[in-house]
Structure 1
């Protein structure tokens, strides 16, 4: 039996907080059709918002809970699916088309395509999956995945569009890099550590050094991303051709392929910042401990000057520092606050362009965010929260001061 896809028109009360705080769908049949078990049943929802045919989709990760609102009733059930609405309201509109489905039957995680009404992608998805015209699609519908045409596949796969590097990386010959040739020959993406080393080699070719910490981190991440995506594009085209030879250009096969690559990007990006920050610390000879246990179950990314110093009661607490690394902060800030109890002010190194003024101000004196200068200048320069943010050079200065000969209590 083919995997099932839930199709519906979004209603204003389901997405707009000004209309309702509902953020729920009726889910009795949805639970059965998608094979979601348990009460409650919980998982992540990866929303892909296709707002125009010529643009890649915006991606927002939310969570959901599917539950029986009448679980205590002796004879009635009322299944509802509640989802968090941190980013959906800003991206979706009433009457947009939503396609909800499972990529992997082994997990309860879901993918939701939200496609702007009136786009060619919206019209073609309704025509090819629901066998009707867009204007005729009104009621919720469950359909089997089916073959889709080449243009529809092309638009859907824009989720994998390769970012064109800027600045000195724009003309760098990534397809001539030894790691690119190795990956194509072996038909395998290199491990994260190898990608990080290759990125440092690119920086050496461009004469970028650790003496400008902000450029070092910013360009190391950009170089690794550019090399990764160059390899990904080559391997992806080869594997996509093989996939369609085996299964045909099916809707769910296409999306499963795309989301597997999207997940690979997220996993790699999560470790890249840590790797390049470790390289920067080593080059600048700043002593540190990496991912050591501070308290039971707590393992922060970096402790300064060392794990041994942290666990030495005689070592002054005011000379200890902790740094957490995360490309996107999301909910990690709560975790950071619970780590390294001896250190009241936590440091966070990130490249997140979506930090809100409210979040930054809320943690003033508890958690300080540091970002590369190019991001600070492009995103936060005119924001009220800018004085509370630091650059990578600021962070290095703080760590150098703290790891100098400590003052005893």
Structure 2
């Protein structure tokens, strides 16, 4: 099994659903998992072994909880001549305390010998993403299953997205650094300028099989170029240090670190809008970007224009809006109030594997999710039947009567 560059980071994974006894410290103080065959495949039968481990508790509704601790793998019957009883001991920490029955536990053995211990909230989007990422069974039970990562492929967008959420960065090659520095020097350009630069150094829209492919390729290209520039600028700043005489500028370092993180987050969203806008321009699709509607709301894109939107006589059914969010979480609800004349809202995202619960909520709110084709593989089959691709959305815009997509895509998900 392989997912992008996973095999460069991990040797294998074990996963299971947590039982009540394992999750409830009030019912058991053992803090141990039985050494099943799946765990033996992951950890080998050598013992005792101690692994430095990073623990993460992941839930869509709260910031991740993190702890650094050790895991201990040992044979409780080491002295017995014929019997063995392997166990994996884990300490009590913020992550183990937050875990509840039914949450998904993933133990990932990293190439550097450390362990990544992930607990994902049952039914959450991050759980869905991790199940897809590691190719785990959808019907996981309370016994460990094992997946070996044996191949290396080029990482795709969805894989990198999830790894980034876990704090795992894929090192950017510095192949284009001279080209970047020749244009921008030691500065971060405005996002529109950098998006245009990325497209200059990527294939044109007509060179791709479809617009979905072009959009992801342009996003990939900009991400690669930006990370190269960022690494160079940040490295230079760190070389200068944060020491002034005998004083260490802790506040300055913290502010600099936050600026790096905030720039990354903001830039992705703007880049996403910029590349979508270029697609509309290339295909001569009329639009307005960031125009003001009721209560000073600002939908990302209005079609065919804000002028037509403001004309009461223009038919509502010929008006469309597209919200743009690189990640959804609960922020998808923001688009629901952004254009009152448009009953069905459309929202495009780069987020892989959004939970069924959340996509059902979207449908109930009359919001149609648009996801580039290559990312749709991370969704469940029933969800994929409902999702729009970028091509689907453009077909909707270009249909002469505005009634819908010509190929008759099923837009209805059965509500729970």
- Kindly indicate whether the alpha-carbon contact (under 8 Å) linking 1:320 and 1:402 is maintained by their aligned counterparts in 2: no
Match of 2:219 among 206, 215, 221: 221
How many angstroms does 1:211 deviate by? 5.7
Stretches of structure 2 lacking an aligned partner (at least 5 in a row): 1-21, 27-50, 70-89, 96-112, 116-164, 405-416
Query: Equivalents in 1 of 2:195, 2:52: separation in Å?
Result: 34
Instruction: Report what 2:259 is aligned to.
Output: 260
Instruction: Tell me the alpha carbon deviations over residues 37-88 of structure 1, each in whole angstroms, 9 at most, x when there is no partner.
Output: xxxxxxxxxxxxxxx9798x979799xxxxxxxxxxxxxxxxxxxxx63654
Instruction: Report what 2:311 is aligned to.
Output: 312
Structure 1 SS opposite 2:203: helix
Match of 1:175 among 174, 177, 182: 177
Instruction: Report what 1:276 is aligned to.
Output: 275
Q: CA 1:194/1:390 → structure 2, altered by over 3 Å: closer, same or farther?
A: same
Match of 2:170 among 163, 174, 177: 163
Q: TM-score, normalised by structure 1?
A: 0.57
Matched, 1:285 2:262: no
Aligned counterparts, 1:65-104, within 5 A: 85=62, 87-88=64-65, 95-96=92-93
Structure 2 SS opposite 1:286: coil
- Kindly indicate whether the alpha-carbon contact (under 8 Å) linking 1:162 and 1:230 is maintained by their aligned counterparts in 2: no
Instruction: Report what 1:41 is aligned to.
Output: none
Instruction: Report what 2:392 is aligned to.
Output: 394
Q: CA 1:61/1:300 → structure 2, altered by over 3 Å: closer, same or farther?
A: farther
Instruction: Tell me the alpha carbon deviations over residues 118-169 of structure 1, each in whole angstroms, 9 at most, x when there is no partner.
Output: x999xxxxxxxxxxxxxxxxxxxxxxxxxxxxxxxxxxxx99875356xxxx
Match of 1:239 among 234, 237, 240: 237
Q: CA 1:161/1:357 → structure 2, altered by over 3 Å: closer, same or farther?
A: closer
- Kindly indicate whether the alpha-carbon contact (under 8 Å) linking 1:160 and 1:262 is maintained by their aligned counterparts in 2: no
Query: Equivalents in 1 of 2:317, 2:229: separation in Å?
Result: 45
How many angstroms does 1:330 deviate by? 2.1
Aligned counterparts, 1:348-359, within 5 A: 348-359=347-358
Query: Equivalents in 2 of 1:60, 1:189: separation in Å?
Result: 32
Moved more, 226-235 or 326-335: 326-335
How many angstroms does 1:202 deviate by? 1.7
Moved more, 193-202 or 257-266: 257-266
Matched, 1:385 2:383: yes
How many angstroms does 1:258 deviate by? 2.9
Structure 2 SS opposite 1:331: helix
- Kindly indicate whether the alpha-carbon contact (under 8 Å) linking 1:287 and 1:403 is maintained by their aligned counterparts in 2: no
Query: Equivalents in 2 of 1:271, 1:392: separation in Å?
Result: 17
- Kindly indicate whether the alpha-carbon contact (under 8 Å) linking 2:215 and 2:275 is maintained by their aligned counterparts in 1: yes
| Structure with greater contact order relative to length (CA < 8 Å, sep ≥ 6) | 2
Instruction: Tell me the alpha carbon deviations over residues 199-256 of structure 1, each in whole angstroms, 9 at most, x when there is no partner.
Output: 1112238x86466111111011111111000000011110011124548888776554
Aligned counterparts, 1:110-189, within 5 A: 163-164=170-171, 173-177=175-179, 179-183=180-184, 185=185, 187-189=186-188
Between the two proteins, the alignment pairs up a number of residues equal to: 274
Instruction: Report what 1:200 is aligned to.
Output: 199
RMSD value over aligned CA atoms? 4.3
Query: Equivalents in 2 of 1:163, 1:345: separation in Å?
Result: 38
How many angstroms does 1:309 deviate by? 1.1
Instruction: Tell me the alpha carbon deviations over residues 345-380 of structure 1, each in whole angstroms, 9 at most, x when there is no partner.
Output: 100111012521111112216111111111112x11
Structure 1 SS opposite 2:347: strand
Instruction: Report what 1:212 is aligned to.
Output: 210
How many angstroms does 1:262 deviate by? 1.1
How many angstroms does 1:96 deviate by? 3.9
Structure 2 SS opposite 1:369: strand
- Kindly indicate whether the alpha-carbon contact (under 8 Å) linking 2:56 and 2:66 is maintained by their aligned counterparts in 1: no
